[in-house]
Structure 1
């Protein structure tokens, strides 16, 4: 074994030890971004479904049940009627399980005209 080989021995291990946390952090960031975008789409879809249900039926509790069907049981819905318009705001956690009470939440909002 030459002197150069002895000096470079273990360099791959050191580089791997430095690089792995960076790769792991990048993976967590990408997965969190994917979960956030999915939660945002579900919240927006649930708000639209709730606003549509309230606009057609005029029943605000039916709108809340439509939101629960689309967004899931852990979603919070606020349904208000302002004159001829109904506004539905849906908030749901980005991740589920024991992390559901964390600070990352997605919000969707929809407004619809109440049909006569």
Structure 2
């Protein structure tokens, strides 16, 4: 089977659009990379928030059982990481543990958020 060649002086459609895909890719690539960075930062913030919530719950349970404040702080740091700060408040009936930390992950330093979580537990009877 023979192939038809374009007439002289005319260019085929493929020749005039040569390089268009490369140019479109070069324009779209920064937007895709930026979207990926936002998704990774959001995922890191979500994971950090979940770790803080679990650490605050565990700290409140331990505090309600009668653990010391330094022991509660150790539990919170073990579950949420070393960069977490925690506080313990006691109003007589309820013990509240609040944990806060900056967003973790590789993009964490670029995200200026400080996440917080708190949990409360009733003081168990017999607890000083």
With the length of structure 1 as denominator, give the TM-score of the two structures: 0.88
> Secondary structure, in 3 states, of the residue corresponding to 2:104?
coil
Displacement, 1:102? 5.1
Distance across 1 between alignment mates of 2:27 and 2:87: 47
Alignment root-mean-square deviation, CA: 2.1
* Residue from 4, 15, 20 that aligns with 2:29: 20
Displacement, 1:62? 1.7
Unaligned runs of 5+ in 1: none
Displacement, 1:59? 2.1
> Cα gap change, 1:27/1:72 in structure 2, threshold over 3 Å: closer, same or farther?
same
> Which string of whole-angstrom CA distances, capped at 9 and with x for unpartnered residues, describes residues 43-87 of structure 1?
000000111111001522221111111111100101111112111
Which residue number in structure 1 is paired with residue 100 of structure 2? 91
Segments ≥4 residues shifted beyond 4 Å: 96-102
> Cα gap change, 1:69/1:80 in structure 2, threshold over 3 Å: closer, same or farther?
same
Which residue number in structure 1 is paired with residue 119 of structure 2? 110
Distance across 1 between alignment mates of 2:14 and 2:106: 50
1:30 and 2:39 aligned: yes
> Cα gap change, 1:3/1:102 in structure 2, threshold over 3 Å: closer, same or farther?
closer
* Residue from 54, 57, 62 that aligns with 1:53: 62
- Larger fraction in helix: 1
With the length of structure 2 as denominator, give the TM-score of the two structures: 0.80
* Residue from 35, 59, 64 that aligns with 2:73: 64
